[in-house]
């Protein structure tokens, strides 16, 4: 199993000083996190895409390109690219360029996004939420197979054989499909034979087993080899020297983030007892000491019938930078060696 980290490049305040980092300083810290992840043995790092004031990742490919120049081994991916609201030609060109800069370490995780700000920003109708994604994913996959594409659809001007450059370093740019809990999304990924990245931010991991099996069944029926049907999981995670330290460090920023989203979406305020339960042996959060987190990773692997990549959503809006770097280091040096044989 591969272990990775995902970041949403959130604006961060230091709880010890009360100072909110400038955007430039926050991005500098994020690049250092990726460097430490690379040096520590973490195998992938993803940057999300948002178009909101509390995030700095509206152009994740730019952040990943800067990271490519500072790293040598770690795979670099979007987490996720909101493909429905973008142009597949530009997405392909950007990540093919990233692949060249990193000498074959770029990947795309594409999805429809859990926020809708990108749709009106780029003049799109949210009523076309699914058809936009389906059509643009079809075009993206054609672009990675063919340099000169003949294609037409509803949501974009047709292509009449123009060349799309540059071509990536890898023979086929890896494209994962990011999904939540919609069965149709799992089936679509399976039918296409694309690797699956499942966002699990609540509920028991076991509850997602039927959906993962649906993906595998659809892929098998479509004739795809089992090794092509890779399963990834994206979940809240954080590592510290003890379980108590990890929970105490992660809770303040986690609570502030959920309070902010809750005001928009009508959620109840977060509860510390519920958070601690979610960090427990059967909960959905991978937060604790290295041995605790490694045991939870093994549990996830078994609960879903095998997981190929598990990415830790470590973004936290109230976290001292040194504490985040320590967590990244522990994930790579102490957790990863315990689970790579899975």
Please check whether residue 196 is in contact with residue 163, taking contact to mean a CB–CB distance below 8 angstroms: no
What is the rounded distance in angstroms from the CA atom of residue 232 to the CA atom of residue 197? 4
Please check whether residue 74 is in contact with residue 44, taking contact to mean a CB–CB distance below 8 angstroms: yes
CB atoms within 10 A of CB 341: 6
CA torsion through residues 232, 69, 104, 140, sign: positive
What is the rounded distance in angstroms from the CA atom of residue 330 to the CA atom of residue 241? 8
Cα-based distances in Å from 28 to 11, 25, 322 = 12, 5, 13
Question: pLDDT, tens digit, for every residue of 16-30?
Answer: 888 999 999 999 999
Question: pLDDT, tens digit, for every residue of 112-145?
Answer: 988 889 999 999 999 999 999 999 999 999 999 9
3-class DSSP state of 304: coil
Please check whether residue 240 is in contact with residue 330, taking contact to mean a CB–CB distance below 8 angstroms: yes
What is the rounded distance in angstroms from the CA atom of residue 289 to the CA atom of residue 8? 23
DSSP string, 102-147: HTS-EEEEEE--S--THHHHTT--GGGHHHHHHHHHHHHHHHHH-S
Q: Are strands 106-111 and 75-78 parallel, antiparallel or unpaired?
A: parallel
* Upper half-sphere CA count for residue 185 (Cβ side, 13 Å): 19
What is the rounded distance in angstroms from the CA atom of residue 62 to the CA atom of residue 67? 9
Please check whether residue 95 is in contact with residue 108, taking contact to mean a CB–CB distance below 8 angstroms: yes
How confident is the prediction along the chain (342 residues), in pLDDT tens digits per residue? 999 999 999 999 988 888 999 999 999 999 999 999 999 999 999 999 999 999 999 999 999 999 999 999 999 999 999 999 999 999 999 999 999 999 999 999 999 988 889 999 999 999 999 999 999 999 999 999 999 999 999 999 999 999 999 999 999 999 999 999 899 999 999 999 999 999 999 999 999 999 999 999 999 999 999 999 999 999 999 999 999 999 999 999 999 998 988 888 888 889 999 999 999 999 999 999 999 999 999 999 999 999 999 999 999 999 999 999 999 999 999 999 999 878
Helix (H) or strand (E) holding 235: strand 231-239
Helix (H) or strand (E) holding 310: strand 309-313
User: Can you list the alpha helix ranges (DSSP code H) found in 148-242?
Assistant: 183-192, 209-221
Sequence-distant (6+) residues with CB within 8 A of 133 are 83, 84, 110, 111, 112
Q: CA Rg, the chain, in Å?
A: 19
């Amino acid at each position: 199993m591969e272990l990775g980290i995902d970041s949403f490049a959130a604006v961060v305040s230091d709880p010890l000083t009360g100072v909110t980092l400038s955007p430039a300083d926050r991005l500098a810290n994020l690049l250092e996190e990726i460097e430490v992840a690379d040096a520590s043995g973490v195998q992938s790092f993803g940057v999300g895409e948002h178009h909101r004031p509390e995030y700095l990742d509206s152009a994740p490919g730019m952040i990943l390109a800067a990271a490519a120049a500072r790293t040598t081994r770690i795979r670099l991916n979007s987490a996720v690219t909101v493909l429905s609201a973008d142009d597949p030609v530009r997405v392909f060109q950007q990540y093919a360029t990233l692949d060249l800069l990193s000498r074959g370490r770029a990947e795309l995780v594409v999805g429809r996004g859990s926020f809708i700000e990108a749709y009106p920003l780029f003049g799109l109708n949210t009523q076309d939420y699914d058809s936009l994604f389906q059509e643009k994913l079809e075009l993206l996959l054609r672009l990675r197979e063919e340099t000169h594409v003949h294609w037409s659809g509803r949501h974009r001007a047709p292509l009449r054989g123009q060349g799309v450059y540059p071509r990536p370093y890898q023979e086929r740019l890896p494209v994962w499909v990011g999904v939540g809990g919609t069965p149709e999304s799992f089936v679509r990924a399976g039918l296409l034979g694309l690797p699956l990245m499942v966002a699990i931010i609540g509920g028991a991991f076991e509850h997602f087993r039927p959906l993962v099996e649906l993906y595998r069944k659809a892929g098998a029926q479509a004739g795809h080899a089992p090794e092509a049907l890779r399963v990834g999981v994206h979940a809240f995670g954080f590592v510290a020297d003890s379980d108590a330290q990890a929970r105490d460090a992660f809770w303040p920023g986690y609570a502030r983030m959920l309070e902010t989203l809750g005001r928009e979406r009508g959620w109840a305020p977060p509860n510390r007892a519920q958070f601690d339960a979610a960090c427990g042996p059967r909960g959905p959060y991978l937060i604790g000491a290295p041995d605790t987190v490694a045991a939870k990773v093994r549990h996830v692997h078994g609960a879903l019938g095998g997981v190929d990549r598990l990415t830790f959503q470590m973004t936290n809006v109230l976290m001292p930078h040194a504490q985040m770097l320590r967590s990244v280091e522990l994930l790579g040096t102490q957790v990863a060696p315990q689970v790579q044989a899975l």
